[in-house]
Amino acid sequence: MSLSQRLFEIRLRLSFACLASDDSELREYGQSILAQLISQTQGLNTESFIVRQHWEVVDKYRDPNAWNALTDLDVKELFDHIAPLMSEVDQDEYAKRFDALVLDIQLNILNDGKRQTYLIQKVISMAGRLSKKGSIPSVAVKMEIITQVQTKLFWEAANIIAIEQMRIELRDLLKFLDAESKPIYFTSFEDTFDGNVVEHQIIYGFNELEAYKRKVEQYLREHSNNIIIYKLRTNVQITKAELNELENMLFDQGTLGTKEHFIKVYGEQPLGKFVRRIVGMDANSAKQAFGEILSNQTLNAQQIKFIDTIINSFCIKGIIDPARLFEPPFTEINAGGIMGVFDEATSLRIIDLINVVNHRAEVA
């Protein structure tokens, strides 16, 4: 089944589910989906040899009235004859796949389908990968919804219309995700089975690792207003006692498993910096950190853009390695990176400020 055919079928089923609702907003949404399908059918190329093979059915459903009170036989006719002829105008394959995924979520929610949890996790995973693309301007401006989608609160509160709005907001960003390659393995084993069966504890597989990472990141974002995490977000240095309290909250209470489990997944690293990398930094706090630079009335447009990019990077990534000032997106402003935009003294001062902000994510 082609993706266009699958989209047609999901949309038709979704329109039925919405039109059967008592909610006027849902019925309106269902009617808009049906109108889209009618428009697609009317737009089929009447000169196409393939379309002419199904002309009797196509001609029937070019009439909008034929879509009123569809019977099971009519639906089968649409699936068998109209759906295979569909071709989406949109050429963005990633966007169309995302459309199919989100529409399937909506359909499963309305029909109380068992697949909704699995499908929602796929969207959360995509949003998590998108959140790492904040250096792309079109992704950065959608970072609020990208962050919200990764939280349990969003999916508990979202209705069908909110999920539809999310689809519209994010669909054009999926093309920025790196393709997930699946390696090919060649094996040559000699069977040495001696008949004795022994059980082994399997170490975390890839899917388990990804699920654990999503769980950790979601937990931290949902608790971003915790006083210690709030301090990390707002560039206030924490104490050793507060670090211990943070460790207790994350590990000793059992929500995220043990600290040893965490280290196996993420490796040894300062916990404060790790948390800051996940939750990012408060925009106003980031601006204040570079206030002395921004207050310079002689800054030109390129220099202001460079500082704004640093601030935006802190908001998204929480921590910045000064070496990145000589890499994209900074070299997209000037090929020389920071040294191409500022004089040496100002460049060194900016790097010092970055190190100060980074250090404040560690224990005083």
CA atoms within 13 A on the CB side of 121: 13
Token pair 């990968």 is at which residue?
A: 129
Residue type, position 167, single letter: R
Q: Each residue of 203-220: b (16+ CB within 10 Å) or e?
A: eeeeeeeeebebebbbbb
- Least Cα distance to 315 among 152, 155, 141 occurs for 141
Q: Which residues lie below 8 Å from residue 331, measured CB to CB, with a gap of 6+?
A: 337
State the Cα–Cα distance between residues 164 and 159, nearest whole angstrom: 9
**pLDDT of 204 strictly over 50:** no
Place of tokens 């990633």: 94
Return the DSSP state at 248.
I
Q: Name the residue type at position 117.
A: T
Q: What pLDDT, on the 0 to 100 scale, is given for residue 206? A: 46
DSSP symbol at 135: T
Please write the tens of the pLDDT for every residue from 235-250: 999 999 999 999 888 8
pLDDT value, residue 315 = 87
Band the pLDDT of 262: cuts 50, 70, 90.
Answer: confident
How would residue 157 be classed by pLDDT, with cut points 50, 70 and 90?
Answer: confident
% residues pLDDT > 70 (the chain)? 90
Consecutive H or E run containing 118: helix 116-130
At 203, the pLDDT band (50, 70, 90 cuts) reads very low
Residue with the two structure tokens 């301090």: 231
Tokens of 19: 């039109």
Q: How far apart are the first and last CA of the chain?
A: 59
CA distance 118 to 122: 7
Q: Please give the average per-residue pLDDT across 288-302, as a whole number.
A: 90
Which pLDDT belongs to residue 73?
A: 86
Q: Which residues pair with 363 in a beta bridge?
A: 238
Per-residue confidence (pLDDT) for residue 254, from 0 to 100: 60
Residues 111-138 have a mean pLDDT of 88
Per-position DSSP letters for 280-333, written without gaps between them: ---HHHHHHHTHHHHT-TT--HHHHHHHHHHHHHHHHHS---GGGGGSTTHHHH
Token reading at 324? 């990145």
The more confident residue out of 240 and 209 is: 240
**Three-state SS at 363:** strand
CA 35 vs CA 15, 60, 212: distances in Å: 10, 16, 42
Candidate from 50-59, 61-70, 206-215, 217-226 with smallest mean pLDDT: 206-215
Q: What's the residue count for the chain?
A: 364
Mean pLDDT of the chain: 85
In terms of pLDDT, which residue wins out, 343 or 212? 343
Q: Which of residues 305 and 177 earns the better pLDDT score?
A: 305
Q: 98-124 burial, b for 16+ CB within 10 Å, e for fewer?
A: bbbbbbbbbbbbbeeeeebeebbeebb
Write down the pLDDT at residue 103. Answer: 94
CB 322 within 8 A of CB 355: yes
Query: Angle at Cα 360 formed by Cα 354 and Cα 364, nearest 5°?
Result: 140
CA dihedral sign, ordered 344, 348, 353, 357: positive
The reported pLDDT for the residue numbered 266 is: 84
Mean pLDDT, residues 114-123 taken together: 89
Q: How far apart are CA 36 and CA 13, in angstroms?
A: 13
Residue with tokens 């916990």: 271
